[in-house]
Amino acid sequence: MKWKKFRVKTVTEAEDIIISTLYDLGLEGAQIEDSVPLTAWEKEQMFVDIMPDAPADDGIAYLTFFVEEDEEGRLMVNGQEKKEEEILQEVREELDSLRVFCDIGEGSISVDETEDIDWINNWKQYFKQFTIDDILVIPSWEQVAPEDQGKMILHIDPGTAFGTGMHETTQLCIRQLKKYVTPQTELLDVGTGSGILSIIALMLGARHAVGTDLDPCAVPAVEENKEANHIAPEKFDMMIGNIIDDREVQEAVGYEAYDIVVANILAGVLVPLTPVVVNHLKPGGIYITSGILDVKEQEVRQAVEAAGLKVLEVTRQGEWVSITAQKL
């Protein structure tokens, strides 16, 4: 399938009004490109672990609108056939009308043609091999260099599930797992995603891991990463469901069964999760949390202590915090 790509050069302050105005023309689903830094709220909500380096904010924004082109080259907007020049003229007229009462910057328009975009795989251009202390994390499509053969090597391909190890929160959890995993460790990984934390724990010598997640995409991602890292199927079990309020999941996971529970999620989930998860920890068990922006540290710490856990350590990387606690 081919698409006509209409790209408007504007300023960040005018993004919303231009998107709204062109929506009325039938141009929907705008792709926004700008260099505005993410707010703390956006960082927490997105929780993106592969983020390309961005230049300093220059106030410039590009808004891209895609119009489907059929096999005969016809462009369809709101169910009506329109010619490229007709769409361009309508967009120019709307932009000119906006100039009267607001600054839209250059307001220029370019047109290009594109094939279907592989959104699922495009992120791979940003994911390259890297190290977390002495652990080499390498995607499935790259080769291990001869000089790295002696390192602990994690082969990872997150697929459509979250988790590459690049995000600060994941690295914080990995460093805590290195401190507490033993050959007897039974691990519960809440929000396992691609399975990276469970796989690292097993590579560090843990006996067994159980992962839970809400996203069904986690299942094939975990299976692929288990195979890539030669994890025996019986060493890592996976289930889909919400452990916070699903009694069947809670019972399937098991009570007072785990030496370590790790949860790399978000502060807003950790608060209701903690009083539930404490029931799955053995006495003396370790609770490792992350996904906590520094502004939410006290909120999560209070939830941890209210659940009867003793805070052992708070570690930080960038704006993110990890709280490690113990069940007394």
**In which element (H, E) is residue 295 found?**
none
Q: Is 191 annotated among the ligand-binding residues?
A: yes
**In which element (H, E) is residue 53 found?**
none
Nearest C-alpha neighbor of 132 from the set 96, 159, 156 = 156
Query: DSSP states of 208-274 as a string?
Result: EEEEEES-TTHHHHHHHHHHHTT--GGGEEEEES-TTT-HHHHHHH-TT-EEEEEEES-HHHHHHHH
Cα–Cα distance, 282 to 19 (Å, whole number): 53
48 to each of 113, 161, 166, 185, 303, how far by Cα in Å?
29, 11, 9, 29, 25
Query: DSSP states of 97-143 as a string?
Result: HHHTTS--TT-EEEEEEEE---HHHHGGGG---EEETTEEEEETTSP
Q: Is 157 annotated among the ligand-binding residues?
A: no
The phi, psi pair for 118, rounded to 5°, reads -85, 80
Q: Which residues of 165-186 are buried (b: 16+ CB within 10 A; e: fewer)?
A: bbbbbbbbbbbbbbebbeeebb
Q: Is 264 annotated among the ligand-binding residues?
A: yes
Q: Is 242 annotated among the ligand-binding residues?
A: no
In DSSP terms, 110 is beta-bridged to 7
Region at 191 (left for phi over 0; alpha for psi -120 to 50; beta for the rest): left
**Binding residue numbers:** 170, 191, 213, 264
**Binding residue numbers for S-adenosyl-L-methionine:** 170, 191, 213, 264
